[in-house]
Amino acid sequence: MVQFLNILFYFSTLILLIILAVQFYISIPRKYRKTYSGNPQFRTLVMIPCRGVDFSLEENLQSLLHQDYPNYDTVAIVDSEDDPSVDYLKKLGINYLISDYESDGSGKVRALSTALSRMTGYDAFVIADSDIITEKDWLINLLRPLTDSGYGISTTFPYFNPEGGFWSHFKTAWGLVGQGMMESDLTVFGWGGSLAFRKELLEDRESMDDFSSDISDDMALTRICLRKSMKIAYVKEAMVTIKSPDNKTVFMEWSLRQTSLLISRKPAALKLGILLYGSECLLILASVPYMIFFSPFYVIFLLPAFVSVVKAYTRIRKKEPVYVLTGLIMPFFYTWNLAVASRIKEISWRGRNYRL
- How far apart (Å, rounded) are the C-alpha atoms in residues 155 and 219? 12
Contact of 157 with 234, CB cutoff 8 Å: yes
Q: Please give the pLDDT value at position 3.
A: 72
What is the secondary structure of 129-182 as a DSSP string? -TT-B--TTHHHHHHGGGGSTTEEEEE--EEEEE-SSHHHHHHHHHHHHHHHHH
- How far apart (Å, rounded) are the C-alpha atoms in residues 119 and 134? 23
- How far apart (Å, rounded) are the C-alpha atoms in residues 287 and 302? 7
Mean pLDDT of 121-126: 96
- How far apart (Å, rounded) are the C-alpha atoms in residues 62 and 53? 14
Q: Please give the pLDDT value at position 186.
A: 77
* Closest by CA position to 129, among listed 52, 221, 49: 49
Mean pLDDT of 268-292: 89
Q: Is the pLDDT of residue 5 over 70?
A: no
Mean pLDDT of 245-260: 92
Backbone phi, psi, residue 334, to 5° = -60, -45
Q: What residues does each domain of the chain span?
A: 2-30+265-344, 44-245
Q: Please give the pLDDT value at position 352.
A: 75
Contact of 149 with 285, CB cutoff 8 Å: no
Mean pLDDT of 345-349: 80
- How far apart (Å, rounded) are the C-alpha atoms in residues 236 and 155? 9
Mean pLDDT of 268-295: 89
- How far apart (Å, rounded) are the C-alpha atoms in residues 34 and 183? 9
- How far apart (Å, rounded) are the C-alpha atoms in residues 45 and 322? 40
* Closest by CA position to 118, among listed 95, 141, 149, 88: 95
Q: Please give the pLDDT value at position 138.
A: 97
pLDDT band at 307 (very low <50, low <70, confident <90, very high): confident
pLDDT band at 53 (very low <50, low <70, confident <90, very high): very high
Q: Please give the pLDDT value at position 327.
A: 86
Q: Please give the pLDDT value at position 27.
A: 72
What residues have CB less than 8 Å from 249, skipping those under 6 apart?
A: none
Percentage above 70 pLDDT, the chain: 97
Q: How far is CA 276 from the centre of its chain?
A: 18
Q: What is the mean pLDDT of the chain?
A: 90
Rounded to two decimals, the pTM is: 0.89
Mean pLDDT of 248-273: 89
Mean pLDDT of 89-114: 94
Q: Please give the pLDDT value at position 324.
A: 87
Q: pLDDT tens-digit profile of 156-189? A: 999 999 998 999 999 999 988 888 888 877 788 8
Q: Please give the pLDDT value at position 6.
A: 67
One-letter amino acid identity for 123? D
pLDDT band at 272 (very low <50, low <70, confident <90, very high): confident
CATH number attached to the domain at 44-245: 3.90.550.10
pLDDT band at 77 (very low <50, low <70, confident <90, very high): very high
- How far apart (Å, rounded) are the C-alpha atoms in residues 344 and 261? 9
Mean pLDDT of 3-10: 69
